[in-house]
Amino acid sequence: MDDVSLTSERRREATPYVDLTRAEWSALRERTPLTLSAEEVEGLRGLGDLMDLDEVRDVYLPLSRLLNLYVGATMGLRGALNTFLDAGNGHGAQSGTPFVIGVAGSVAVGKSTTARVLQALLARWPEHPRVELVTTDGFLLPNAELARRGLMSRKGFPESYDRRALTRFVADVKAGKDEVTAPVYSHLIYDIVPDERLVVRRPDILIVEGLNVLQPALPGKDGRTRVGLADYFDFSVYVDARGEDIERWYLSRFRMLRETAFQDPSSYFRRYTQVSEDEALDYARMLWRTINRPNLEQNVAPTRGRATLVLRKGPDHKVQRLSLRKL
Ligand SMILES: Nc1ncnc2c1ncn2[C@@H]1O[C@H](COP(=O)(O)OP(=O)(O)O)[C@@H](O)[C@H]1O
Ligand SMILES: CC(C)(COP(=O)(O)O)[C@@H](O)C(=O)NCCC(=O)O
């Protein structure tokens, strides 16, 4: 073996991931049946996202099969743990612990479509029909509090969330509490909706979707490591794409929203329906360059290496390559 191939051999050994092309990955779905119709996929698709049945078949069915295997294996492990704890008079033994999946990635990368398609596919398995989805935007601090802390132009950055409440929410669901509630965010009013809560009741699977779900916990005041959100995940997905592509998707979505949701009299962005399209897009570009891109570069992308699976999208939103953690 010459030096060059030795180096590439070593590089292959050093990574905890196995890299697969879309074709290699799609061959892994075996006999998993397609349980969604074209109309159902359309109903789950976010604005501007090009998810279709081919994408579901090639990318999401193998993932649904893998996750079903993971859920079964995780239940087996929990059973082993309970057997061990039962030997000590049942101290801490627990049944009905949900399987928790994190979905991370930039603003406008299509995380919410990925999470909704996963929710629909996973709920079709008889072993785990109750799949709940929570987006972390509900844990953003309300605008009044962001303004008070001087964080209005940091929305989506780790410090703009009530991280403790978010972690407690997931910990409570995982601990099998009968009913756990979360605040609700509205993109329309660009703020937390007062007096509205999302209620989660003992799901089989909980999907937690948001920009920063893979962020490590901040150290405590005494410098000690704390338990963070990602410590509760049994599996995580990072939706990845080139920054230039995501910016283009963000701008084209802003253009589409200007013709639809922004027209609503209660929309925070209504004023951008009353200026020229060029002016509106200049504003969107400013939001991208001053908030979402720095957040992607400084906080979101650095967490990619913590995901169990990375879905790498091409310029057309289609997943081209996948990296699955094997170690
Ligand atoms: N200003 C807005 N008004 C209405 N809907 C919005 C607005 N911004 C984003 N959305 C919608 O909210 C959802 C989440 O968007 P985002 O957090 O950017 O994540 P992603 O695009 O990765 O799913 C998307 O379905 C998007 O279409
Ligand atoms: C609400 C968001 C922070 C996303 O939050 P997430 O659901 O990922 O927790 C984001 O969509 C957002 O509004 N960012 C602020 C800049 C902008 O208006 O694009």
Instruction: Please name which ligand lies nearest the alpha carbon of 295.
Output: 2
- Whether 107 lines ligand 2, by a CB cut-off of 6 Å, is yes
Domains annotated for the chain, with CATH where assigned, are 16-79+94-325 (3.40.50.300)
What confidence score (pLDDT) does residue 20 get? 97
Q: Calculate how far, in angstroms, residue 176's C-alpha sits from the geometric centre of ligand 2.
A: 29
Residue range 167-184, pLDDT digits in tens = 999 999 999 999 999 999
310: part of which helix (H) or strand (E)?
Answer: strand 309-313
Q: Calculate how far, in angstroms, residue 299's C-alpha sits from the geometric centre of ligand 1.
A: 19
Residue 73: CB atoms within 10 A of its CB come to: 11
| Structure token pair of residue 15 | 């990574």
| Structure token pair of residue 69 | 């295997």
- Whether 246 lines ligand 2, by a CB cut-off of 6 Å, is no
pTM of the predicted model as reported, rounded to 2 decimal places: 0.94
- Whether 121 lines ligand 2, by a CB cut-off of 6 Å, is no
Q: How far is CA 282 from CA 154, 156, 252, 264, 278, in A?
A: 19, 20, 12, 21, 6
Q: Name the closest-CA residue to atom 21, ligand 1.
A: 108
Beta bridge pairs of residue 105: 239
- Whether 28 lines ligand 1, by a CB cut-off of 6 Å, is no
- Whether 140 lines ligand 1, by a CB cut-off of 6 Å, is no
257-261, long-range: CB < 8 A, 24+ apart: 257/47, 260/47, 261/187, 261/188
Instruction: Please name which ligand lies nearest the alpha carbon of 258.
Output: 1
- Given the cut 0.90, state whether the ipTM is greater than it: yes
Residue range 249-306, pLDDT digits in tens = 999 999 999 999 999 999 999 999 999 999 999 999 999 999 999 999 999 999 999 9
Q: Calculate how far, in angstroms, residue 108's C-alpha sits from the geometric centre of ligand 1.
A: 6
Rounded to the nearest 10 degrees, the angle between the axes of helix 277-287 and helix 243-259 is: 140
Q: Calculate how far, in angstroms, residue 252's C-alpha sits from the geometric centre of ligand 1.
A: 12
- Give the confidence band of 50 by pLDDT, cuts at 50, 70, 90: confident
- Whether 287 lines ligand 1, by a CB cut-off of 6 Å, is no
DSSP code of residue 126: T
